[in-house]
Amino acid sequence: MRMEDTKKTFDHLLHEMNRVIVGMDEVLKQMVVALLTNSHAVLEGYPGLAKTLSIKTMAQLLSLKFSRIQNTPDLMPSDITGTYIIEETTGGKRSFKFQPGPVFANVVLADEINRATPKTQSALLEAMQEKQVTVGNTTYKLEEPFFVLATQNPIEQEGTYPLPEAQSDRFLFKIRTEYPTFDEEVEIVNRYAEEEKKVALKPVLGRDDLLYLQSLTRQVPIAADIKKYAVSLVHATRQKKDLIEYGASPRASIGLVLAAKGRALLEGRKYVSKQDINMMALPVMRHRIILSFEAERQNLHEDDVIKQMLK
Amino acid sequence: MATRPIFAALKEVRSAVTQITLFTSLLDALIVFTLCVLVFILIGLEWWYGLAIALAYGSVHTYRSVKKRQNLAYVEEKVPELSEQLTTVADNTDKDNPIVLSLQEDVLRGMRAIKTSYFLSFGRLTRELITLAVVSILIITASAHGVRFLDVKQTLKDLGELGKGPSGPYELSGEGLEFFENMSEDIYGNKTLAELGNDELQLQLTPMLTDIDIGRTKPPESKEFRSTLPEEIKATTDVSFQESIPKGYQRIVKSYFSEIAKTS
């Protein structure tokens, strides 16, 4: 794939996704950026907002190995990582054989991740950060590319376990799905409430294409001033003591610059603009800050505080 | 890597911006200079004080402008087509990957469209030139007519002397007045009043008012004076007097003058 063709490829990918998903353009773009930056993303939204469908659709468009973990409170870590099973050979000899879990895939959909217990959620930590899984005394390397695209319901709902801060930080994006507009909802009804038409999706991107695009993303140049602007935004979360109790870590700075590069490539630009940083600030930082009591008293959300800083 | 055209292009842009900055700074300093000269003429100060002020202003203004405009963001501001690209390219000259090289080509193409006029504000330039012309005319007019609203030097001097108190030359005490009254007995006045004292006379000739050039002098010519008075002086009646009066009236005229002579 030539560099000039990248924009066409992305346009085609998004077009194919839009055949299934109505609206949610920004959500879909952020998911693609997560892929380009070789990072993980968590989609948060109320039930019925096409979170799972979006990830499944994207997986269909990538000719990669896809697996799905439906998180429940009784899900065990070994259900994710895999376990040793006893296997009997033809000679009657028995031996332990490692049975890989669903995490051994390129694209892992961790559905309703906040319904799993913190112990099970933590089983994903090593896989997400180190891209490897240790079972017993053996460490298994995960195949590249490796993404965890998780979904979760807002933590205010019952029967959910908030993601531990350490794990939350490992997701590059926390993508918020919003309710569709009236016209979009009419279109959704038209598509899914009448005669069932199965949309045939063909893979748009292969493994090699994706790896090439990932390497290309890191090569997108960024001006020193814009880089400083990104870092200053993250740094400001640690200075705004009145509204933010705990600011974002340097991982957020890395993520913000990387995400901006991904967005620039997605838009067909060969440089990062300030607008890219602003657009990526919300999904990169919203799950990395903890608001103070004062912010909660003022009924402010993470997005409100970040938007204040962007002004 | 050093032979890449982008390096030369960036250098050229910076150089052009610096030249324009220097030109505009010079113009600003000139305006400051002419304004200072005008003000100093009107208040009776030396014009070269304005030169010192203009030099100081020009130095600071040039330094700040060059520093500000050397940043490529200024060029991007003037050439929106290159917005954020030029800075990105300049900040990533050490990188050598397909995207950077492709961006450099795009920027080079865009830079070909840059014109020097992008960095010149013609409205401001016109205003500045008009200001310069108007102030220059005012300077010439003020010089020609010797317009001066205030003599700062003299005022300061007077203030200084006033501050000297009763021992100064303008002592208005009883003794002083008596002294001057006594001295005025001489009808030619007091000789000391005609003297300038120890002070130097400040005399300024306005060249526009006179053709005298005191710088051009020549040695005085020696003249010989001779007496031209006649040896004998006598009075005669003018011939025309008798000729112009008709004979019939000559007697009347004669008697008229005789009567006048009697009355006087």
The pLDDT tens digits of the residues spanning A100-121 come to 899 999 999 988 888 888 888 8
pLDDT of residue B17: 83
pLDDT band at residue A189 under the 50/70/90 scheme: confident
pLDDT > 90 in chain A, percent: 30
Per-residue pLDDT tens over the stretch A54-75: 888 888 888 888 899 998 888 8
Q: Provide the ipTM.
A: 0.79
Choice among A222-226, B68-72, B248-252 with the minimum mean pLDDT: B68-72
User: Average of pLDDT values for B147-163?
Assistant: 79
> Residues of chain B whose C-beta is under 8 A from some C-beta in A?
73, 83-85, 87-92, 95, 97-100, 102-103, 106
CA distance B75 to A299: 44
User: Average of pLDDT values for A256-274?
Assistant: 93
Residue B225 lies in a domain: no
Helix (H) or strand (E) holding A215: helix A207-219
Please say if the pLDDT value at position A236 is more than 70.
yes
Residue B216 lies in a domain: no
User: Are the C-beta atoms of A31 and A62 separated by less than 8 Å?
Assistant: no
User: Are the C-beta atoms of A9 and A222 separated by less than 8 Å?
Assistant: no
Pairing of strands A147-152, A40-44: parallel
pLDDT of residue A226: 93
Domains of chain A by start residue, with CATH:
1-73+105-178+208-219 (3.40.50.300), 221-311 (1.10.8.80)
What is the domain range of residue B106?
5-144
Per-residue pLDDT tens over the stretch A14-50: 998 888 888 888 999 999 999 999 899 999 888 888 8
Beta bridge partners of A265: none
Choice among A92-96, A290-294, B62-66, B73-77 with the minimum mean pLDDT: B73-77
Q: What's the sign of the alpha-carbon dihedral B37, B43, B46, B52?
A: negative
Choice among B34-48, B86-100, B144-158, B204-218 with the minimum mean pLDDT: B204-218
CB contacts of A271 in chain B (<8 Å) are 84-85, 88-89, 103
pLDDT of residue B1: 47
- Tell me which of A214, A217, A257, A270 to substitute to probe the interface with B (most B C-beta atoms closer than 10 Å): A270
Contacts with A71 (C-beta within 8 Å, 6 or more apart), sequence order? A110, A111, A112, A113, A114, A115, A116, A120, A121
User: Average of pLDDT values for A93-105?
Assistant: 87
pLDDT of residue B206: 61
CB contacts of B99 in chain A (<8 Å) are 3, 216, 219-221, 270
Residue B105 lies in a domain: yes
CB pairs under 8 A between A and B: 52
